[in-house]
């Protein structure tokens, strides 16, 4: 109703005018009534008195009148906010500290939540993401998780046989070198099947996207750019479409650009360039992965037909499986394995949120961090609650006066809560700023040279809602208790101006004690968590890894892309190695096929002629192929026998150097030099060439720092069974290794200008393998410290307040002859009780909680007594320190001053 | 001056106000006086309920207000019935009469 709205708006915005009109109207009424009484013969003064009595409280009538205007709620809110601003402004330092600690707490929560939201909760920005399912295959061992990777043959079978999807596509991510030799410039590439964009419902921003026609065997290959890449590398020029791009030294025509906001289905990675699956043949040459039936490189996603349920999809895929696998059997497998192969099946899982390795890798750490920041926020809340309690006590008189004037308790509580929510909202606003800044930092932190993480961390509705909810929740959490307590004042004692009865005073501090004790408990949990992560991180980085990671430059080179003929590979590599070795600043140089802690492994079964030799999977040995300079460059000592040298040519007798673990496992720890082993499981009647052990090297980590060092065999790189087009040079320098890069590039260009080079340092490679551990250690350490600081501020504040409350008592005690020392012990006894209650609760809580961390720890158990003891020690020391200052003040109370004050 | 007072049943105040205003525009005090007098001093409207009720009626569009001059030349807020209010009054009157008759009938059958 128009009338209604106008009146309400008028009341809201012309409050003063409306109020004075109301005043006038009521005054008129009152005076008319007095007039009437006077006319009936009552004396004027008596008439006024009677009228007033009859009317009841004028203010009450006004309040009811306002209520009827229907905007009272907003009005009181505005009033409360104004009043709150005044109150908060009166103690700017406390307000600032409160807002800052809330901002840190809320900001940390928002930051971690928005990561969780982006990585784990958000839907893909494509049409109807709910219909998408990710396919996987069951494995040889029935118990294992299904693996979401397929061979091209399997993909073609599924594509051609399925009848449950309205569209299905496959893809594989890869890196494309954009350069034409020299330092590699990598772009994130995708091999995609023809229906990729169509099935996802992604539109082109320019040109056209790939279609089925582009993805046919023997295709010439075309490329589609992502919107971001198009902007960054082509300045969003229209002319880019129709131009070309060089990928790994092959020229591809650009046919279009995909829509902005689409980054691919792998959350955490953004694709730059997409080419059809068939284009893999262009890069692979004759033996392409299109035909290789045990090359598991494709992921597959399908879109369920509308109305086809997940169950129906799953069961139909199960029915189709024998046919799918039957048509894609790897021809080179053993008959028994082939038979097993066709018993596997295709399974489906929902894929609405995309696929992400980040989820596997950081899912658990993110949840732990969410719990950690949640605890930090709780501690911050507790802090502000004790602050509010103290302030409420100071406002005792004000509240008593307002109550006496007729304010209801509910009204006062509302006022106090409004103040709290104002504080928490300010904290949340600032917290969002912190979160944006922190998020950028976090993403950079979890990115490694090899896996650049790029996430779309724009604040979406869900994140903002989350922040708003925790702001209100925290405000209520730290506000309710003080509001309830402080509005329960006894009017008479407050008005008398005294601080109330002794018992009343002690009772008033009781909730303060509880708050401090719980802060201590929560801080202990955080400190223990931080301690565990820090200690396991330190254990990892101080581990004896068997090589010296410092000052080693890794240079990867690929000769195939440089179009070097395969029979020249070995000579070219040898030439390069000797040239790099003689560079000034290079102490020693080596080359190998695998580098340590790269996350890759090459293994094979070996057998020794001995009755109790390991067999089957137990006989798996990790391999590497290295040049003579390798061990010296990595500083892995040779413990027995000899290293490789010029004798070990391609045609020389085959030799091997093995590590200590392999000596123990295969040769019972006896000196193995001169002994032999063979590759593969023993096959009667088919003698494999025997390989002679010529040396033993110290154990070193192979794939990751967390592994138990596997038995490892090093072969001369000259005797590698298949010609390998790529190798990595290790260059040890005296100076920071990155300084060598220009000289290395020049040297390589002198041999062949087209050789693509990738640079890395060994120390960075080792560091990159510890991203998860470092993230947990740094963040839990940071938040543990923050919690400690907050808890100490809380303790200090609460105790100062308690001391103020008991000033008179201390004064009297001193006047009666108590020594300062005994006053100190009274206070410290209180502290000790609170502290030990908190520590006890915290230790119990920690013991329960840390079990969840066990999987992420290294080299220590979750209930590590040293860590828990240290945390308790640190917390008690700092707590006692924080308590000492107010306690000392209690000791110095001047009895006269304290008594006079009362 | 003890007067027999009867509390108004819920909702009847609105009807009484509308009825009073049907005669002529009035200010608040006059409304309460008129009700007091016509009811032979049985009904007494507290200003605490009168003004919120007036405001409520105004918001519903049944009455409207304007500032005018009172009998003795003072500024006062006058309320008058709108067309909508006239209809509402007729409706409420008939409802009330039905109700009252029904209640009376029940009370008399014993």
User: What is the pLDDT, as a whole number, of residue A507?
Assistant: 52
Confidence class for position A500, pLDDT limits 50, 70, 90 = very low
My answer on whether A152 and A284 are in the same domain is yes
C-alpha dist (Å) from residue A83 to A20, A66, A88: 21, 19, 9
My answer on whether A643 and A759 are in the same domain is yes
Q: Is the pLDDT of residue A596 over 80?
A: yes
Mean pLDDT of A162-173: 92
How many residues belong to chain B?
110
Name the H helices within A395-456.
Answer: 396-404, 409-446
Chain B residues with CB under 8 Å of A4 CB are 59-61
Mean pLDDT of B36-49: 80
User: What is the pLDDT, as a whole number, of residue A503?
Assistant: 46
User: What is the pLDDT, as a whole number, of residue B7?
Assistant: 64
Is the separation of the CB atoms in A174 and A190 below 8 Å? yes
- Do the chains contact at B59 and A29, CB–CB below 8 Å? no
Mean pLDDT of A253-268: 89
Residue A168 included in any domain: yes
* DSSP one-letter code for A246: E
Is the separation of the CB atoms in A129 and A123 below 8 Å? yes
B46 touches chain A (CB under 8 A): yes
- Start-to-end Cα distance in chain A: 60
Handedness of CA A579, A585, A591, A594 (dihedral sign): negative
My answer on whether A534 and A595 are in the same domain is no
The better pLDDT of the pair A817, A431 is held by A431
Confidence class for position A121, pLDDT limits 50, 70, 90 = confident
Torsion angle, alpha carbons of A262, A265, A269, A273, to 10: -60
- Do the chains contact at A29 and B70, CB–CB below 8 Å? no
Last residue of a domain, one of A734, A764, A794: A764
Q: Is the pLDDT of residue A501 over 50?
A: no
Last residue of a domain, one of A726, A746, A764: A764
In this predicted structure, which of A152-161, A216-225, A389-398, A415-424 has the lowest mean pLDDT? A389-398
pLDDT tens profile A385-442: 887 777 777 777 778 887 777 677 777 888 888 888 888 889 999 999 999 888 888 8
A618 touches chain B (CB under 8 A): no
Q: Is the pLDDT of residue B76 over 70?
A: yes
Chain B residues with CB under 8 Å of A64 CB are 48, 51-52
C-alpha dist (Å) from residue A476 to A413, A424, A426, A428, A484: 11, 9, 14, 14, 11
Determine the Cα–Cα distance for residues A290 and A277; give it in Å rounded to an integer. 8
My answer on whether A167 and A256 are in the same domain is yes
Confidence class for position A692, pLDDT limits 50, 70, 90 = very high
pLDDT tens profile A634-654: 999 999 999 999 899 988 999
- Do the chains contact at A28 and B51, CB–CB below 8 Å? no
Contacting B residues, span 2-21, partner chain A, CB-CB under 8 Å: none
C-alpha dist (Å) from residue A773 to A172, A357, A779, A785, A859: 28, 16, 10, 18, 13
User: Strand locations in A236-367, DSSP E?
Assistant: 244-247, 250-258, 273-276, 299-304, 346-350
Q: Is the pLDDT of residue A552 over 80?
A: yes
Mean pLDDT of A720-732: 87
- Do the chains contact at B76 and A21, CB–CB below 8 Å? no
B77 touches chain A (CB under 8 A): yes
My answer on whether A63 and A31 are in the same domain is yes
Torsion angle, alpha carbons of B66, B71, B74, B75, to 10: 0
In this predicted structure, which of A230-234, A430-434, A615-619, A699-703 has the lowest mean pLDDT? A615-619
Residue A884 included in any domain: yes
Determine the Cα–Cα distance for residues A342 and A325; give it in Å rounded to an integer. 5
My answer on whether A51 and A193 are in the same domain is no
Residue A261 included in any domain: yes
Determine the Cα–Cα distance for residues A263 and A271; give it in Å rounded to an integer. 6
User: What is the pLDDT, as a whole number, of residue A644?
Assistant: 93
My answer on whether A725 and A616 are in the same domain is yes
Confidence class for position A140, pLDDT limits 50, 70, 90 = low
In this predicted structure, which of A758-772, B5-19, B25-39 has the lowest mean pLDDT? B5-19
Determine the Cα–Cα distance for residues A472 and A485; give it in Å rounded to an integer. 20
User: What is the pLDDT, as a whole number, of residue A694?
Assistant: 94
My answer on whether A388 and A421 are in the same domain is yes
- Do the chains contact at B70 and A28, CB–CB below 8 Å? yes
Q: Cβ-count burial of A111 within 10 angstroms (0-12 exposed, 13-18 middle, 19+ buried)? A: buried
Residue A121 included in any domain: no
Determine the Cα–Cα distance for residues A851 and A840; give it in Å rounded to an integer. 18
Q: Give the best residue of B26, B45, B55, B63 to mutate against chain A (max A CB count within 10 A).
A: B55
Handedness of CA A618, A619, A625, A629 (dihedral sign): positive
User: What is the pLDDT, as a whole number, of residue A345?
Assistant: 87
Q: Work out the minimum CA distance from B14 to partner chain A, whole angstroms.
A: 14
Query: Over pLDDT 90: what percentage of chain A?
Result: 32
User: What is the pLDDT, as a whole number, of residue A607?
Assistant: 85
Mean pLDDT of chain A: 85
Query: Over pLDDT 70: what percentage of chain A?
Result: 92
My answer on whether A380 and A347 are in the same domain is no
Mean pLDDT of A183-195: 90
Contacting A residues, span 69-98, partner chain B, CB-CB under 8 Å: 69-70
Mean pLDDT of chain B: 83
Q: Is the pLDDT of residue A900 over 90?
A: no
In this predicted structure, which of A12-16, A522-526, A631-635, B28-32 has the lowest mean pLDDT? A12-16
Confidence class for position A870, pLDDT limits 50, 70, 90 = very high
The better pLDDT of the pair B58, A334 is held by B58
User: What is the pLDDT, as a whole number, of residue A587?
Assistant: 93
User: Strand locations in A707-748, DSSP E?
Assistant: 712-716, 726-733
Q: Is the pLDDT of residue A842 over 90?
A: yes
Q: Is the pLDDT of residue A504 over 60?
A: no
Is the separation of the CB atoms in A576 and A729 below 8 Å? yes
Q: Is the pLDDT of residue A21 over 60?
A: yes
Looking at the whole model, is its pTM more than 0.90? no
Is the separation of the CB atoms in A526 and A784 below 8 Å? yes
| Structural domains of chain B, ranges and CATH numbers in brackets | 12-108 (1.10.10.10)
Structure token pair of residue B95? 């409802």
User: What is the pLDDT, as a whole number, of residue A34?
Assistant: 85
User: What is the pLDDT, as a whole number, of residue A223?
Assistant: 95
The better pLDDT of the pair A737, A403 is held by A737
Q: Work out the minimum CA distance from B64 to partner chain A, whole angstroms.
A: 10
Chain B residues with CB under 8 Å of A1 CB are 59-61
Residue A119 included in any domain: no
My answer on whether A703 and A597 are in the same domain is yes
Is the separation of the CB atoms in A859 and A539 below 8 Å? yes
The domain total for chain A is 4
Residue A823 included in any domain: yes
User: What is the pLDDT, as a whole number, of residue A502?
Assistant: 45
Chain B residues with CB under 8 Å of A17 CB are none
User: What is the pLDDT, as a whole number, of residue A3?
Assistant: 63
Residue A507 included in any domain: yes
Chain A residues with CB under 8 Å of B27 CB are 25, 28
Is the separation of the CB atoms in A415 and A80 below 8 Å? yes
Other Cβ atoms closer than 10 A to A647: 12
Chain A residues with CB under 8 Å of B55 CB are 65, 68-69
Name residue A864's beta-bridge partners: none
Q: Is the pLDDT of residue B3 over 80?
A: no
Confidence class for position A27, pLDDT limits 50, 70, 90 = confident
User: What is the pLDDT, as a whole number, of residue A729?
Assistant: 95
My answer on whether A742 and A704 are in the same domain is yes
- Start-to-end Cα distance in chain B: 36
Q: Work out the minimum CA distance from A55 to partner chain B, whole angstroms.
A: 7
Could you tell me how far CA A420 lies from the centroid of its own chain?
Answer: 30
Q: Give the best residue of B59, B70, B85, B88 to mutate against chain A (max A CB count within 10 A).
A: B59
Chain B residues with CB under 8 Å of A52 CB are none
pLDDT tens profile A470-491: 888 888 888 887 788 777 766 6
C-alpha dist (Å) from residue A10 to A4, A6, A751, B59: 10, 6, 86, 12
My answer on whether A344 and A412 are in the same domain is no
User: What is the pLDDT, as a whole number, of residue A492?
Assistant: 62
State the residue range of the domain holding A431. Answer: 359-542+771-901
Residue A105 included in any domain: no
Taking CA–CA distances from B45, the nearest residue in chain A reads A55
Chain A residues with CB under 8 Å of B61 CB are 1, 3-4
User: What is the pLDDT, as a whole number, of residue A768?
Assistant: 86
Beta-strand pair A603-607/A620-626? antiparallel
pLDDT tens profile A42-55: 888 888 888 877 76
Last residue of a domain, one of A322, A352, A382: A352
How many residues belong to chain A?
902
Q: Give the best residue of A1, A18, A61, A62 to mutate against chain B (max B CB count within 10 A).
A: A61
A504 touches chain B (CB under 8 A): no
């Amino acid at each position: 109703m128009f009338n209604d709205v106008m009146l309400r708006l008028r009341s809201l915005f012309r409050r003063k005018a409306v109020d004075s009109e109301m005043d006038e109207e009521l005054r008129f009424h009152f005076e008319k009534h007095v007039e009437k009484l006077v006319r009936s013969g009552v004396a004027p003064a008596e008439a006024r008195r009677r009228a007033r009595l009859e009317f009841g409280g004028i203010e009450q009538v006004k309040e009811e009148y306002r209520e009827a205007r229907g905007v009272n709620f907003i009005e009181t809110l505005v009033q409360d906010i104004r009043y709150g601003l005044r109150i908060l402004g009166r103690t700017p330092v406390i307000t600032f500290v409160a807002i800052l600690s809330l901002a840190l707490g809320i900001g940390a929560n928002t930051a971690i939540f928005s990561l969780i939201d982006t990585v784990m909760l958000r839907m893909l920005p494509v049409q109807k993401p709910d219909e998408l399912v990710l396919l996987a295959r069951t494995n040889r061992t029935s118990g294992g998780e299904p693996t979401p990777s397929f061979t091209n043959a399997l993909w073609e079978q599924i594509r051609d046989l399925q009848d449950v999807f309205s569209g299905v596509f496959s893809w594989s991510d890869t890196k494309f070198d954009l350069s034409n030799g020299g330092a590699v410039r990598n772009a994130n590439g995708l091999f995609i099947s023809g229906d990729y964009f169509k099935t996802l419902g992604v539109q082109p921003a320019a040109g056209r996207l790939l279609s089925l026609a582009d993805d046919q065997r023997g295709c010439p290959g075309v490329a589609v750019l992502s919107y971001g890449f198009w902007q960054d590398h082509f300045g969003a020029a229209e002319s880019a479409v129709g131009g070309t791009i060089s990928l790994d030294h092959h020229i591809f025509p650009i046919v279009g650009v995909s829509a902005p906001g689409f980054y691919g289905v792998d959350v955490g990675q953004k694709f730059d360039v997409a080419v059809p699956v068939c284009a893999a043949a262009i890069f692979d040459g004759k033996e392409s992965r299109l035909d290789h039936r045990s090359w598991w490189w494709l992921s597959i996603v399908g879109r369920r037909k509308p109305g086809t349920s997940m169950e129906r999809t799953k069961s139909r895929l199960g029915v189709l499986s024998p046919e799918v696998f039957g048509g894609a059997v790897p021809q080179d497998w053993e008959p028994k394995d082939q038979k097993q192969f066709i018993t596997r099946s295709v399974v489906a899982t929902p894929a609405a949120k995309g696929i992400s390795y980040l989820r596997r890798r950081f899912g658990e750490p993110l949840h732990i961090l969410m719990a950690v920041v949640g605890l930090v926020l709780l501690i911050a809340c507790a802090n502000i609650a004790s602050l509010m309690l103290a302030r409420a006590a100071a406002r005792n008189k004000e509240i008593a006066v307002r109550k006496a004037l007729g304010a209801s308790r509910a009204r006062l509580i509302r006022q106090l809560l409004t103040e709290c929510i104002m504080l928490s909202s300010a904290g949340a606003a600032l917290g969002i700023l912190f979160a944006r800044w922190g998020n950028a930092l976090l993403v950079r932190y979890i990115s490694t040279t090899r896996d650049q993480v790029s996430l779309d961390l724009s604040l979406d509705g869900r994140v903002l809602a989350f922040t708003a909810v925790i702001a209100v929740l925290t405000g209520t959490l730290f506000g309710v208790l003080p509001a309830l307590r402080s509005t329960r004042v006894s009017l008479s004692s407050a008005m008398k101006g005294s601080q109330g009865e002794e018992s009343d005073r002690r009772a008033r501090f009781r909730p303060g004690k509880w708050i401090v004790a719980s802060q201590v408990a929560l801080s202990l949990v955080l400190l223990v968590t931080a301690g565990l992560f820090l200690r396991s991180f330190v254990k990892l980085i101080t581990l004896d890894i068997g090589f010296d990671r410092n000052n080693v430059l890794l240079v990867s080179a690929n000769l195939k892309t440089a179009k070097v003929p395969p029979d020249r590979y070995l000579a070219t590599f040898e030439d390069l190695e000797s040239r790099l070795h003689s560079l000034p600043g290079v102490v020693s140089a080596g080359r190998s096929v695998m580098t340590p802690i790269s996350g890759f492994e090459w293994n094979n079964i070996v057998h020794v002629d001995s009755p109790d030799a390991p067999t089957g999977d137990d006989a798996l040995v990790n391999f590497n192929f290295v040049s003579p300079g390798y061990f010296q460059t990595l500083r892995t000592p040779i413990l027995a026998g000899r290293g490789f040298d010029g004798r070990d040519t391609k045609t020389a007798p085959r030799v091997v150097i093995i590590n200590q673990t392999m000596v123990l496992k295969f040769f019972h720890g006896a000196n193995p030099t001169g002994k032999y082993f063979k590759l593969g499981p023993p096959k009667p009647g088919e003698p494999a060439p025997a390989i002679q052990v010529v040396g033993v090297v110290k154990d070193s980590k192979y794939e990751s720092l967390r592994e138990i060092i596997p038995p490892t065999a090093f072969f001369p790189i000259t005797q590698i069974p298949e010609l390998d087009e790529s190798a990595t040079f290790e260059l040890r320098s005296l100076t920071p290794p990155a300084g060598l890069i220009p000289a290395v590039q020049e040297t390589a260009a002198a041999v062949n200008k087209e050789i693509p080079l990738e640079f890395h340092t060994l120390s960075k490679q080792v560091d990159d393998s510890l991203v998860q551990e470092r993230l947990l250690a740094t963040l839990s350490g940071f938040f543990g410290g923050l919690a400690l600081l907050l808890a100490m501020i809380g303790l200090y504040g609460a105790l100062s307040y308690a001391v103020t409350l008991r000033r008179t008592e201390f004064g009297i005690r001193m006047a009666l002859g108590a020594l300062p020392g005994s006053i100190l012990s009274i206070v410290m006894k209180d502290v000790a009780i609170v502290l030990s209650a908190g520590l006890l609760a915290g230790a119990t809580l920690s013991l329960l909680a840390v079990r969840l961390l066990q999987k992420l720890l290294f080299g220590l158990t979750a209930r590590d007594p040293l860590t828990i003891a240290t945390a308790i020690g640190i917390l008690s020391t700092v707590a006692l320190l924080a308590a000492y200052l107010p306690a000392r003040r209690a000791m110095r109370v001047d009895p006269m001053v304290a008594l006079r004050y009362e | 001056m003890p007067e027999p007072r009867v509390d108004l049943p819920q909702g009847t105040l609105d009807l009484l106000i509308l009825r009073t205003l049907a005669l002529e525009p009035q200010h608040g005090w006059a409304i309460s006086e008129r009700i007091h007098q016509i009811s032979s001093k049985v009904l007494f409207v507290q200003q605490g309920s009168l003004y919120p009720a007036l405001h409520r009626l105004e918001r519903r569009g049944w009455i409207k207000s304007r500032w005018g001059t009172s009998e003795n030349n003072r500024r006062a807020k006058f309320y008058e019935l709108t067309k909508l209010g006239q209809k509402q009054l007729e409706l409420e009157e008939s409802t009330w009469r039905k109700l009252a008759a029904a209640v009376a009938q029940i009370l008399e059958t014993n």
